[in-house]
């Protein structure tokens, strides 16, 4: 599913959407961790899940600082991101990782756009850039793991 996150005009909307994206990703990672057989893969996915939870926390602090209440959960897209993983779980590790790659493609696109948002100041831009770097690392790891299967 292609995401439009990162195209918001208002900073508060951008942060809210990114937080929800990271919450959705954390749920999808939980579903993947529960369904993947390879222990090394589970370990990496667990670390990636923690990154998404950290992103949500860090962005939530910025959203709070501008007077908005951060979301504490994903949105309806959570069912889609988890659903792909759950279906993949029926077909094995490769299908789970393929579903997670699709989810990470969306996260990469969202953070790449967010880093360039016109209302992002230097401190927030640094946080967004670190999150984007994490997302690239997640996707790159998944691509390499898929190549091994």
SS3 labels along the chain: CCCCCCCCCCHHHHHHHHHHHHHHHHHHHHHHHHHCCCHHHHHHHHHHHHHHHHHHHHHHHHHHHCCCCCCCCCCCHHHHHHHHHHHHHCCCHHHHHHHHHHHHHHHHHHHHHHHCCCCCCHHHHHHHHHHHHHHHHHHHHHHHHHHHC
Question: Between the CA of residue 26 and those of 7, 8, 53, 86, what are the distances in Å?
Answer: 22, 22, 6, 14
Band (pLDDT 50/70/90 cuts) for residue 129 is very high
Q: Tokens 């599913």 map to which residue?
A: 1
* Structural domains in the chain plus CATH codes: 11-148 (1.20.1260.10)
Two tokens, residue 142: 């998944």
pTM: 0.89
Which pLDDT belongs to residue 9? 96
Band (pLDDT 50/70/90 cuts) for residue 88 is very low
Segment among 1-15, 51-65, 103-117 with least mean pLDDT: 1-15
What digits encode the pLDDT tens for the residues 24-80? 999 889 989 999 999 999 999 999 999 999 999 999 999 999 999 999 865 555 445
Which pLDDT belongs to residue 72? 81
């Amino acid at each position: 599913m292609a995401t439009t996150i990162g195209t918001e005009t208002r900073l508060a909307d951008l942060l809210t959407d990114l937080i929800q994206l990271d919450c959705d990703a954390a749920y999808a990672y939980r579903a993947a961790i529960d369904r993947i057989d390879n222990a090394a893969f589970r370990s990496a996915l667990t670390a990636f899940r923690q990154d998404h939870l950290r992103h949500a926390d860090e962005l939530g602090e910025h959203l709070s600082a501008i007077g908005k209440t951060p979301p504490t959960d994903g949105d309806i897209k959570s069912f889609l991101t988890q659903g792909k993983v759950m279906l993949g779980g029926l077909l094995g590790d490769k299908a789970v990782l393929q579903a997670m790659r699709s989810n990470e493609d969306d996260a990469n696109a969202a953070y790449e756009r967010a880093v360039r948002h016109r209302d992002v100041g230097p401190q927030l831009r640094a946080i967004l850039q670190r999150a984007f770097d994490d997302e690239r690392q997640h996707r790159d790891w998944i691509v390499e793991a898929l190549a091994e299967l």
